[in-house]
Structure 1
Amino acid sequence: MRIGMLLNGSYPADIRVRKEAETLAENHDVFILCKRISKEKSYEVVNGVHVFRKIEYKSLAHEGIIDVLTSINFIHPYFKKKTPIFIKENNIEALHVHDLPLAKTALIFTEKYNLKSILDLHENYPAALITWFAWRRNPIIRVKNKLLFGYKRWSNFERRIIKKYDVLVAVVDEMKQRLINQYGVDENRVVVVPNTEKKEFAENFDIKSTNYFTGLEDRFIISYVGGFGPHRGIHTAILGMNKIIEKFPNTLLVLVGPANYDVRLYLQNLIKEHKLEDFVIIKDKEPFKNVVNIMKSSQLNIIPHISNEQTESAMPHKFFQILLSGKPLLVSDCAPMKRIVEEKEIGSCFEAENPISFADKVFNIQMNYQAALDKAKKGNEEALVGNLNWEFTSKELIALYDRLSD
């Protein structure tokens, strides 16, 4: 089958899309229409995937303007222009659309050219809008978001548009159940394809490298690596450090990742307010080789997400990456993470947005560290030889396209 994918992002930078495309390319012809950033080739074949970078923005501001225009009628002007050419030149038979904002644009052409339609919901997009903008302070941006990027508006759009797709792809069972409960979607129309990692990702941790935290060997390092948005729950971990350092003053919380000005300022003020400057460090986004080194060099890796409609039906890539690091994992009790951690006994959970619960779980891990390492070892085995890896979970994606081909 000749599969076309629409992605309003960079390829192969998007981890989920790359894994899906490369897996499908083993048995199908896969073509991607996506965004082009400076110096990237407008067309190339990457690991068997034909990549057409035909969507270009002059700047971040320009891209923001196009996002606003798209949100008015839910049709992306650039993808509307380029998609029919993309479909005809590559004889596309099925159109696989990544995330909600491109759903209506793609549907115009799946109906016009009688193509199979697949909508890949990377997350609960309407709920995500609430958390993405929660800490934004610019009054103009807040008004724009309220008018065009409100939860109710996008939830109503999601309700209408998903009924028109042949297949919906969800990232976790909880997302599938949400679509069934919230919109009455037939469960047979939803395929679950989790954000697991390929087994080969473990090779990144085998590379000989020095301890990332050289000079801090006397500290118990708790690391968070990822985005700094409001839903990430980083503030819970920071506040939990107040109690942790009473018993274990050698503990150091390291936060690594990209953050806009408003978010970084909020976190820095929180650290200063609680006099935690010697116990919490904020670092900028690090190169990939450093990220895996940070996970491996830490005594504990955390995913402290708050509990909301978005996080209760999503699962981050780093959950599975941490398993492959072989280091202990502590997560908040958001349903998908809690389910897997407790079923597989591969880590620990604390009550989301509860700093005391976070601190208590860290205490338990520090005082029973060998038990935490045993769970980490089990998690590593589940990710390598069990069913918590891409080689196993991608079978549903492969089966989906086998059915569509037939």
Structure 2
Amino acid sequence: MRIGMILDREFPPDHRVEKEAKSLIKNGHEVHLFCFNHGHLKSEETINGIKVHRFFMSRQLFKKLYALINVFPLYNMFWKRRLMGQIKKYNIQALHVHDLPLSHIAWQLSKKFGIPLVLDMHEDYADWIEQTPHYNTLVGRIVKKLSRWKSYEKKHLQLADYVIGVSPVLIDKMVKQYRVSRDKIIFVPNTPEPDFMTPDKIDEDIKKQLTGRFNVIYVGGISYLRGLQKVIPHMREVEKRIPEIQFIIVGDGTYLPELKKLTKELNLDHIVYFAGWETVERIAAYIKLSHVGIYPSLRYKGVDDKVPTKVFQYWALGKPVIAPDFILPRTMIAKHQSGFTIDFEKEGEKLVDLVEKLYRDEKLRETMGENGRRAIEEEWNWEKTVQPLIDLYDHLSKKREEKH
């Protein structure tokens, strides 16, 4: 089956999108990925078997149009015009849209061409975006009200032929609050691939940076809601107890300049190391040489329903986790006895105590890490969790063959 994936970001990197596409290709499907090019990438290329087609838009224009996506039609018009030509050119037989923003255009095109639409919800998008800082300025609140993300989300979850959810809590919300049929939802959590657990090599620059230090690591996107600004100030107290402490931040995002500024103001440059965005292989190497994985998210509506990729990645490489005391992380960490949960906004002293505890108690650190790794090996690995996605497209392919 020829599948057209839609991603309104540049690619690479997007580990989840790449994992899904590679798995579908491995099982005999053809995947075309339609995404952005902000100026430095090829318009077309093949990456790990994925046929990537990029549409140019400057980053500055993207930021302006994206903020008003549900208010003015320019952003959607840009995508619709380009996708129509690509669907015809490559005879796309199913559309797979990643996240909520372009779901309306994807739905319109699926109806026009008579092909099924899969809406892949990476998170509880409406709750998340309405609590981001840019939507809570004076102008932002006006745009937020006009955008009506909750209504948009409900409408397009109901209109899609199939919906992918990343957590049981999110799926439960879709069914109970948005009245989405449970029969059309599939559960595909964002778990690690098997080769992530055994990095082939560790580059010398990573060894040099991490060797001889007690490394606490964060991996992922960098925004205000990720909560890293609540962790950095406590590194001073951690240093008093653990002189060789190092806080490794692997990732990129809109809030990165603020974090670097905070680090400099607090004179913590010798403790906090910003690695930038890295490949999956290098992320695995960073985690392997670290001692504790951290996920310091702030509380916002909808965050209770997710266990992010980073937690699975920490577990995959045998690292104990310190995570927020939200419903799903608390439940899963308790189930697998693989770390601790705290309120990062209020329990800074407890965070310091837990880092010290894991530093001094090597046996506890190893036991929790082994428990997490076992959870990945037995339950939360990509080979197992991707199967419903493969089954879905095998079903759609068979259905199409029967129809034609």
| TM band (smaller chain) | 0.7 to 0.9
**Aligned with 2:348 (options 327, 330, 355):** 355
Q: Is the 1:70–1:77 Cα contact (8 Å) retained in structure 2? A: no
Cα distance in 1 between the residues matched to 2:283 and 2:33: 28
Q: Is the 1:174–1:335 Cα contact (8 Å) retained in structure 2? A: no
| Paired residues for 1:279-290 under 5 Å | 280-283=271-274, 285-288=276-279, 290=282
Deviations 1:157-211 (A, max 9, x none): 112222111111111112111212321222222111111111012332x414458
Q: Is the 1:130–1:151 Cα contact (8 Å) retained in structure 2? A: no
Q: Is the 1:129–1:151 Cα contact (8 Å) retained in structure 2? A: no
Q: Is the 1:235–1:267 Cα contact (8 Å) retained in structure 2? A: no
Q: Is the 2:210–2:289 Cα contact (8 Å) retained in structure 1? A: no
Aligned to 2:338, what secondary structure does the other structure show?
Answer: coil
1:277 aligned residue: 268
1:258 aligned residue: 252
**Aligned with 2:321 (options 304, 319, 329):** 329
1:85 aligned residue: 85
Unaligned runs of 5+ in 1: none
Q: Is the 2:202–2:282 Cα contact (8 Å) retained in structure 1? A: no
1:98 aligned residue: 98
1:365 aligned residue: 358
Count of residue pairs brought into register by the alignment: 394
Moved more, 116-125 or 366-375: 366-375
| Paired residues for 1:129-144 under 5 Å | 129-133=129-133, 142-144=137-139
2:222 aligned residue: 228
1:207 aligned residue: 201
Relative to 1, partners in 2 of residues 1:142 and 1:60: Cα closer, same or farther, differing over 3 Å?
farther
TM-score by length of 2: 0.86
How far is 1:103 from its partner? 0.7
How far is 1:65 from its partner? 3.1
Q: Is the 2:188–2:385 Cα contact (8 Å) retained in structure 1? A: yes
1:32 aligned residue: 33
Deviations 1:292-342 (A, max 9, x none): 333222222211112222422233322222223233322222333333222
Cα distance in 2 between the residues matched to 1:375 and 1:321: 14
How far is 1:121 from its partner? 1.1
Cα distance in 1 between the residues matched to 2:143 and 2:224: 20
1:395 aligned residue: 387
Relative to 1, partners in 2 of residues 1:173 and 1:300: Cα closer, same or farther, differing over 3 Å?
same
Deviations 1:278-297 (A, max 9, x none): 77425251543654333222
Relative to 1, partners in 2 of residues 1:64 and 1:259: Cα closer, same or farther, differing over 3 Å?
closer
RMSD: 2.9
Q: Is the 2:250–2:278 Cα contact (8 Å) retained in structure 1? A: no
TM-score by length of 1: 0.86
How far is 1:42 from its partner? 2.6
How far is 1:51 from its partner? 2.2
Cα distance in 2 between the residues matched to 1:151 and 1:331: 34
Q: Is the 1:300–1:328 Cα contact (8 Å) retained in structure 2? A: yes
Q: Is the 2:216–2:293 Cα contact (8 Å) retained in structure 1? A: yes
State the identity %.
26
How far is 1:276 from its partner? 6.3
Cα distance in 2 between the residues matched to 1:39 and 1:118: 29
